[in-house]
Amino acid sequence: MHNVEHEPANKRFLIQDNGDIAAVMTYVISSPELYIIDHTLVENAYRGQGLGDELIKAMVEYARENGIKILPLCPFAKGRFERISEYADVLHQ
Q: 3 φ, ψ to 5°?
A: -85, 115
Q: Could you tell me the mean pLDDT of each successive run of 10 residues in the chain, 93 residues long? A: 93 96 98 98 97 98 98 98 97 94
Which structural domains are found in the chain, ordered by start?
Answer: 4-90 (3.40.630.30)
Identity of residue 43: E
Predicted pLDDT of residue 44: 97
